[in-house]
Chain A
């Protein structure tokens, strides 16, 4: 299931340019979407889900043309969507809510639908609270219900916006595994600013900023872009000065180790400076510094 986006633009009323000439090619499997708040990630996902219509540009999801009404409805049938703010009906129980969404997704046969709901409740391990009203659910439980509803129709395209927000570490790992296992023929579009989630699961990703795509490609390519720009600098206590960003600080007692991303000249007070293999977070920081030139890897 490949998704192709051509020259997508979205201008909200009031002149807010949310998406600027976005060109993306999303292969099947896990795909990460990284970027700061306000970068346009949510807008892009809403357009893919058919909620918003782009000001200009076109998109293709699998064989469906996303520019016609029919195409959009066809995409919705194979879509599973988990929004960032998942609102639910407080008076329904978890089971009833999933059953209702199942009806709206087109699973008309009651027995099959109920079986499916039970299956998914077990997957997100909410079977023993399934009959409680949704208004009594905690944030993490609501997110799990959200994941369950997205998977009801066995979607070929799964769009998840900040899925692990509010989950404890164990749940987060579980969820990551769930998403990775879903790969294969399906496309899972994962948008988040928790870099760890993408680093552990996605091979391909895109980084957005200010409505533009400033990188798209594999994590390997991104790392090779950043190689040579990440250093571990050990000083005797003073913070090193220079044209770089300090990513982390480690107090070793007599010395302090800084992990920095950027250009390293010869600042004073530095005991040693060792180049190191860039992580995804380092690459992200490096790219954000390089705001001027959008980088497109050869995909």
Chain B
């Protein structure tokens, strides 16, 4: 073992005090060793497994009697030996030497014997209540949403890059087009993807019976989609700024450069959050991905056609999603324009967060989620 033995003694002490985590660690460290030892006592794989479980139960019960005598390893082997001798004597072995495969359901019987034997199985002891968010979990969430979710923002920005190249070739300034791609197209793509993913979870009935709350899972998925789109957007934005093709309003030069850059990112971050949150809510209310996509599309076209109406009324400004590209600086002082622009961006950002919150609240209704599972 590559861990110092002093560590193991401490583990046994903690196990004596009822520490399940310590038991888990000891189990992980020593079970291979104990199993190999038991295999020497009986060649029957299944019986060896059963003896292992008996040994572990005995360890859990008798950890207090360790007493620091010899090494932990020797003590564990001793416990295993005693358990094995007891059991083998009771059973009046030997059993016939059948390989497991020949007995139909051999693995099944072994498994069940093992389950019945232990009053508290090692698996139960390892279950963490209120566990942490692991990297494995994030990986699986992304994987189950499908590769298309990852590809969509990448494809969108790639096509806009190509378009910019084309414009360059035609001797037109691609700055406004690139800004359009970032501000107009990327957020709606994210919104449609969120609506598609949230409106249909194939394993929803199973998910609702698991101890992890489903509203956490749903919010996590929305967050992952938005986060991935954010990465793509940041990358693109960085490239745009580096190539000096920025089409954003100029922040006051008195602020540090990093803050200026961050403020510039509000161009796409605000509509991204807004459209993602809106797609989230639509998916949960309508439970149909086509209807959600249609309405998102409708909102998008309305935003573009009626941009002046939206800019005019103060109470509509939290829904003014695309001012940068559509209502650029015209006949106004840059400073004043920037302040107004920043205000609208923050309003839209706040509205987006509120929409996400509403979506999260809507997720807490399991009956509604189940009913919607069989739509269309």
Direct interface between A and B, CB < 8 A: yes
Complex Cα distance, B115 from A183, in Å, reads 10
Interface segment out of the listed A106-114, A230-238, A268-276, A287-295: A106-114
Task: Flag if A51 contacts B111 (CB, 8 Å).
Answer: no
Q: How far is the CB of A68 from chain B (nearest CB, A)?
A: 15
Task: Flag if A153 contacts B209 (CB, 8 Å).
Answer: no
- Chain B 91-128 interface 0/1 with A at a Cβ cutoff of 8 Å (1 = within): 00000000000001101110111011001011110111
For residue A62, CB closer than 8 A to chain B, the reply is no
Complex Cα distance, B207 from A79, in Å, reads 12
Interface segment out of the listed A33-41, A88-96, A191-199, A218-226: A88-96
> Which of A105, A116, A125 has the most B CB atoms < 10 Å from its CB?
A105
For residue A149, CB closer than 8 A to chain B, the reply is yes
Complex Cα distance, B203 from A90, in Å, reads 10
Task: Flag if A109 contacts B205 (CB, 8 Å).
Answer: no
Task: Flag if B108 contacts A105 (CB, 8 Å).
Answer: no
Q: Which B residues are CB-close (under 8 A) to A266?
A: none
Task: Flag if B127 contacts A153 (CB, 8 Å).
Answer: yes
Task: Flag if A100 contacts B128 (CB, 8 Å).
Answer: no
Complex Cα distance, B48 from A126, in Å, reads 23
Choose among A85, A104, A170 the residue that contacts B205 (Cβ–Cβ < 8 A): A85
Complex Cα distance, B203 from A51, in Å, reads 13
Whether A181 contacts B140 in the complex (CB less than 8 A), given A50-B209, A77-B127, A107-B123, comes out as no
Choose among A85, A153, A178 the residue that contacts B108 (Cβ–Cβ < 8 A): A178
Q: Which A residues are CB-close (under 8 A) to B210?
A: 76, 101, 104-105
For residue B137, CB closer than 8 A to chain A, the reply is yes
Complex Cα distance, B128 from A104, in Å, reads 10
Contact-size category for A: 35 or more
Whether A52 contacts B107 in the complex (CB less than 8 A), given A87-B206, A105-B127, comes out as no
Task: Flag if A96 contacts B127 (CB, 8 Å).
Answer: no
- Chain A 162-206 interface 0/1 with B at a Cβ cutoff of 8 Å (1 = within): 000000001000100110011111000000000000000000000
Task: Flag if B24 contacts A51 (CB, 8 Å).
Answer: no
Choose among B112, B137, B147, B202 the residue that contacts A103 (Cβ–Cβ < 8 A): B137
For residue B43, CB closer than 8 A to chain A, the reply is no
Complex Cα distance, B139 from A92, in Å, reads 11
For residue A65, CB closer than 8 A to chain B, the reply is no
Q: Which A residues are CB-close (under 8 A) to B203?
A: 86-89
Q: Which B residues are CB-close (under 8 A) to A90?
A: 202
Q: How far is the CB of B237 from chain A (nearest CB, A)?
A: 30
Task: Flag if A51 contacts B147 (CB, 8 Å).
Answer: no
Q: How far is the CB of A46 from chain B (nearest CB, A)?
A: 8
- The count of residues in chain B whose C-beta lies closer than 8 Å to any C-beta of chain A is 49
Task: Flag if A109 contacts B24 (CB, 8 Å).
Answer: yes
Q: How far is the CB of A11 from chain B (nearest CB, A)?
A: 12
> Which of B137, B205, B207 has the most A CB atoms < 10 Å from its CB?
B205
Whether A181 contacts B113 in the complex (CB less than 8 A), given A76-B211, A154-B124, comes out as yes
For residue B146, CB closer than 8 A to chain A, the reply is yes
- Chain A 226-248 interface 0/1 with B at a Cβ cutoff of 8 Å (1 = within): 00000000000000000000000
Whether A76 contacts B24 in the complex (CB less than 8 A), given A88-B202, A106-B128, A153-B127, comes out as no
Complex Cα distance, B143 from A112, in Å, reads 22
For residue A282, CB closer than 8 A to chain B, the reply is no
Whether A123 contacts B108 in the complex (CB less than 8 A), given A51-B366, A104-B212, A105-B127, comes out as yes
Chain B residue nearest to A122 (CB atoms) is: B107
Q: How far is the CB of A99 from chain B (nearest CB, A)?
A: 7
Q: How far is the CB of A32 from chain B (nearest CB, A)?
A: 19
Whether A92 contacts B127 in the complex (CB less than 8 A), given A52-B366, A87-B203, A112-B28, comes out as no
Q: Which B residues are CB-close (under 8 A) to A105?
A: 127, 210-212
Task: Flag if B121 contacts A51 (CB, 8 Å).
Answer: no
- Chain B 136-153 interface 0/1 with A at a Cβ cutoff of 8 Å (1 = within): 110010011011000000
Task: Flag if A104 contacts B207 (CB, 8 Å).
Answer: yes
Q: Of residues 234 to 255 in B, which have CB atoms within 8 Å of A's CB atoms?
A: none
For residue A49, CB closer than 8 A to chain B, the reply is yes
Whether A89 contacts B144 in the complex (CB less than 8 A), given A174-B104, A184-B116, comes out as yes
Complex Cα distance, B51 from A37, in Å, reads 45
For residue A83, CB closer than 8 A to chain B, the reply is yes
Chain B residue nearest to A45 (CB atoms) is: B209
For residue B2, CB closer than 8 A to chain A, the reply is no
Complex Cα distance, B115 from A182, in Å, reads 7
Task: Flag if B366 contacts A182 (CB, 8 Å).
Answer: no
Q: How far is the CB of B373 from chain A (nearest CB, A)?
A: 8
Q: How far is the CB of B25 from chain A (nearest CB, A)?
A: 9
A and B contact pairs by CB, cutoff 8 A, 13 listed: A53-B367, A77-B127, A81-B209, A85-B205, A86-B206, A87-B203, A87-B204, A91-B144, A92-B143, A92-B144, A99-B140, A178-B112, A182-B112
4 smallest beta-carbon distances between A and B, as pairs:
A181-B112, A87-B202, A89-B144, A81-B209
Supply 6 further A-B pairs (C-beta < 8 A) apart from A89-B143, A91-B147, A185-B116: A87-B205, A106-B129, A106-B211, A108-B132, A112-B24, A178-B108
